[in-house]
Amino acid sequence: GAVVSQHPSRVICKSGTSVKIECRSLDFQATTMFWYRQFPKQSLMLMATSNEGSKATYEQGVEKDKFLINHASLTLSTLTVTSAHPEDSSFYICSASPGWNFDYGYTFGSGTRLTVV
């Protein structure tokens, strides 16, 4: 149980275009999903917390208009990188929580490697 699917695993896009990354909880309802970014040889940094049916909460320094997060259902959250630039190239990973059932811990997706050329 507690499987999180993230798609795509790799994407290359041209500078100025937008890219959408999906995060799905396959066998549980995720009231909360988290989006992280990892630059090479650095830690995973929390970008935002999304709660189903409400606006995402962004961490300080993360541009809301650039990284659009939608959590329209209990099993799907999407991260859209708008007008991507080479500096947005990074590893993006989501995690999902069923709520306060901490037996699952926090389940992570397999990540998306974004390369902007």
Q: Which two tokens stand for residue 63?
A: 């541009």
Q: Is 52 exposed, middle or buried (0-12, 13-18, 19+ CB in 10 A)?
A: middle
Report how far residue 12's alpha carbon sits from residue 24's, in angstroms, rounded to the nearest whole number: 21
Shortest Cβ distance from residue 16 to other proteins (Å)? 29
Instruction: Using alpha carbons, select from 75, 74, 79, 73 the residue that is nearest to residue 93.
Output: 79
Tell me how far, at minimum, the Cβ of 94 lies from other proteins, in Å: 9
> Other C-beta atoms within 10 Å of 35: how many?
26
* Least CB distance to other proteins at residue 68 (A): 21
- Output 32 or 75, the one with its CB closest to other proteins: 32
- Judged by CB, which is closer to other proteins: 46, or 76? 46
Task: Compute the least distance from the CB of residue 17 to other proteins, in Å.
Answer: 25
The residues of the shown chain that bind other proteins, judged by CB under 8 A, are 4, 6, 9, 32, 34, 36, 41-46, 49, 93, 95, 97, 100, 102, 105-111
User: Which 3 state secondary structure label does DSSP give 92?
Assistant: strand
Q: Which is nearer to other proteins, 109 or 116 (CB)?
A: 109
Question: What is the C-alpha separation between 41 and 61, in angstroms, rounded?
Answer: 20
Nearest residue (CB) to other proteins, 6 versus 78 = 6
